[in-house]
Amino acid sequence: MRVEKTILDGCFLIHNTFFGDHRGYFFESFNRKTFFDLTGKDINFVQDNQSGSQKGVLRGLHFQHGEFSQAKLVRVLQGKVLDVAVDLRRNSPTFGKHVAVELSEDSHTQFFIPRGFAHGFVVLSEQAVFFYKCDNFYNKASEGGVIYNDPDLPIDWQLKPEELLLSEKDTLLPTLKELTPTLKF
């Protein structure tokens, strides 16, 4: 496993050691001790989630706040997505900044997003299966989000606006400016 820092403090790309031959492949997708040794973060994942989506589906930008905030380790099992994390930690030097990375079934790269970040992704391939581990349980009362097209977060989703497929809930999310006074991380 190799860890690559991103421009956002605490967000890492995880490049796994991949073993392949004529039979197929093998890689260790997570090892708590190795992860701690490389990042200094002692994470205890308690919930795994998986979604399947078609091209253009944009899910996000979501977070949970307060005692139910979540760190996530995300990866793509099938297809390709653009994955985005936005720093919502008001005291962070990168507050309001984002990082966008392509994740695919071919790269086997994972993306670690710590607590205090909004997270979202858009499907770039015809279909995608997206998998993520969370270090805290989902709590509906603690969920929140930032609108995907916030003008203060110039995110290039790599698709035209008319190609995007969003839930009604995700089209009604506030901007980061509207949300900032209520953030609890």
Q: Which residues are catalytic?
A: 62, 132
DSSP one-letter code for 141: G
CA-to-CA dists, residue 60 to 31, 119, 123, 180, angstroms: 27, 6, 12, 17
- How far apart CA 144 and CA 4 sit, in angstroms, is 28
- Positive or negative, the CA dihedral 69, 83, 96, 10 is positive
Quote the tokens at residue 178.
């509207």
Longest CA pairwise span in the chain (Å): 55
Strand-pair category, 58-64 with 117-123 = antiparallel
Phi, psi of 142 (to 5 degrees): -105, 5
**Residue 5 to residue 99: CA distance in whole angstroms:** 11
Sign of the alpha-carbon dihedral angle for 41, 39, 37, 16: positive
